[in-house]
Structures are given as structure tokens and as C-alpha cells.
Amino acid sequence: MNNSMIIGQYVPGNSLIHRLDPRTKITIIFFFVFIVFFANNLVSYTILTVFALSSMFISRVPIRFILKGLTPVWFLIVFTFILHLFVTKEGTVFFDLYLFQFYTGGLIQGIAISMRFFLLILMTSMLTLTTTPIEITDAIEDMLHPLKKVKFPVHELALMMSISLRFIPTLMQETDKISKAQASRGVDFRTGPIKERAKAVVPLLVPLFVSAFKRAEELAMAMEARGYQGGEGRTKLRELKIEKRDILVYLLFACAIAGLFLTRNY
């Protein structure tokens, strides 16, 4: 069977970035998303870019994985760039193409906005590339903890997420098995008119649902047998802990923010 399945984008590693507390990563990225919009000149952009690129290099995630994360948004970045180039009429004309005049202002704005996009995406994919889904789940559970006071089911949500993560590979194997069984009974998933192919999904989906329900039922029974009675009074094995390295990274990030606000144009 397929044993090398990777859920999400996580690339295993042991770098400083990998070992950071997931809450640190989420917090920093959250603020990064905000302050990107404050950069407005070459120096401030450089500071953010240096921060983002150095975290990328420290993580030692191969460039091709990062580029893969960028592929769906490439188009958006290029599109924004071109849009700005055509629409903004500031600064001087640097290129005259018969009907269109391209202005330096448009060029600069185009670069700046695409850069913003690029940095945003790079940083958010740093989170998913270096953090396992289960760590993210733990961090979310911990960070949403205050919401418990307003009866928000934080523990249940986290448990649901972690069980889903646990069962993704199982259900993928199951899907593979059932589709092979139905293909052996003459179902053609690959060719034929769309309508036929859509119909071919029924013999795949029905057994998959039936089995998922059966699994859910058995799992619920097994959990109950093992003493599960909700989040009340539970202890946790997986522990999140802020270490020296987290503090160091927070400090570096604070420096970057300070640098940005000192150098940006007002």
C-alpha cells in the first residue's frame, strides 16, 4: 500500500523553524499579514523580504516545495502586476507602446503590490510546510481556549480535527480499494461522456459513506470504552511549550517591525 502519504504540505525536518512552538509561528504570521500593508518604500520592503527569505532558508525546505505552494497564486501575482502597470498613470512615461503609455509609478506600484502578495503567500506556506497538521490543531485549541467561557466547543473542535487527520490516509486507502473493486465490475471512471462519469461516482461514494459511518460508530464505541466523556477533566500528552528559541524569534520579529516603522514613508 501507499505508505509514503503526506497529509497537507508538511515537509519533515528538524530546523529551528520546524521546532518553533506552533503558536509562535501562527502569531508571527498573523501579524506579518498586517504589517505587510505598512511597507511602502524600498527599505521597508527589503526588511520584510529579508525576514521572509531568511526564515525560508533556515527552514531548509527545498525550494521546489515552496514554489509548488506558490503555483496556484502565480497568476494572481502576475495579473495584479499587469493591472497596475496599465491603470496607474503617475510618474513619467518610460515606455510608449502605440496606444498605451506605461508610467514609472505603475511599474513601482505593480512591483510593490505583487511583492506584498508574494511575501504573504511565502510566509503562510512556511507555516504549513514546517508544522504538522496536528501541531496546528493543538495550537488552535490552545489559542481559542478563552472562547470556552462563551461556550464555544474548543475541545470538541480540536478533537474533530485530529480524528479527521488520523482518518484521511485510511479513507484514501479505502477509496482506492473500492474504486478498484468497482472498476473490476466494469465501471469506467476515466472515459466516456461527463454524465456517464458522474454516474460512475455513485458506486464509489455509497460504499465509502457506508464504511465511514460504520467506522464512526465503532470508533465512538471504542472511545467510550476507553473512558472518553468529553473535554472536562482531561489532561494532555502533547504539550506546547514556549522555549528560548521562540522568544528569540519574537524579538527578531519585533526588530523587523521596528525597522519597518522607522524606515517607511509617512
Partner 1 sequence: MDITFKNVTYIYQRNTPFAHKAIEDLSFHIPSGSFVAIIGHTGSGKSTLIQHLNGMVIPSEGEVTVGDFHLTQGKKPESMKELRSKVGVVFQYPEHQLFEETVGKDIAFGPENFGVPEDEIKRRIQEIIPAVGLPEELLERSPFDLSGGQMRRVAIAGVLAVKPDVLVLDEPTAGLDPRGQKDIMDMFYNLHKEQGLTTVLVTHSMEDAVKYADHVIIMNKGTKYMEGKPEEVFIQKDALNKVQLDVPEMVQFLNLFEAKFGKPIPFERQSIKEIAQSIQGIVKGAAPHE
Partner 2 sequence: MRKKIIEFRNVSFRYGDEQPWVLRNVSFDVYEKEWLAIIGHNGSGKSTIAKLMNGLLFPQEGEIIIDGQQVNDESIWSIRRDVGMVFQNPDNQFVGTTVQDDVAFGMENRGIPREEMIKRINETLSAVGMQEYHMTEPHRLSGGQKQRVAIASVLAISPKVLILDEATAMLDPKGRTEIMSTVSEVQDKNDLSLITITHDLHEVVQAERVIVMNNGEIWDEAVPREIFAKKDELRKIGLDVPFVTILADELNAAGINIEREPLNQEELLEGLWTLHSRT
Of 208, 238, 165, whose CA–CA distance to 7 is shortest? 165
Question: All 3 cell numbers of residue 243?
Answer: 522555549
249 within 8 A of 58, measured Cβ to Cβ = no
Q: For residues 173 and 2, is the Cβ–Cβ distance under 8 A? A: yes
Contact partner, 165, from partner 1, partner 2, none, Cβ < 5-8 Å per class: partner 2
Name the minimum Å distance from CB 215 to partner 2. Answer: 5
Binding letters toward partner 2, positions 212-241, x by CB under 8 A = --xx--xx-xxxxxxxxx---xxxxxxx--
* Stretch near partner 1 under the rule CB under 8 A, chosen from 24-32, 97-105, 203-211, 220-228: 203-211
**Residue 73 touching partner 2 (CB under 8 A):** no
Among residues 33, 19, 21, the alpha carbon closest in space to that of 121 is found at 33
Burial of 24 (0-12, 13-18, 19+ CB in 10 A): buried
Q: Whole-angstrom Cα distance, residue 23 to residue 174?
A: 34
Q: Minimum distance from CB of 52 to partner 1 (Å)?
A: 26
Q: Using CB under 8 A, list all residues that contact partner 1.
A: 2, 4, 174, 177-178, 180-188, 202-203, 206-207, 210-211
Q: Using CB under 8 A, list all residues that contact partner 2.
A: 3, 5, 134, 162-163, 165-166, 169-170, 173, 214-215, 218-219, 221-229, 233-239
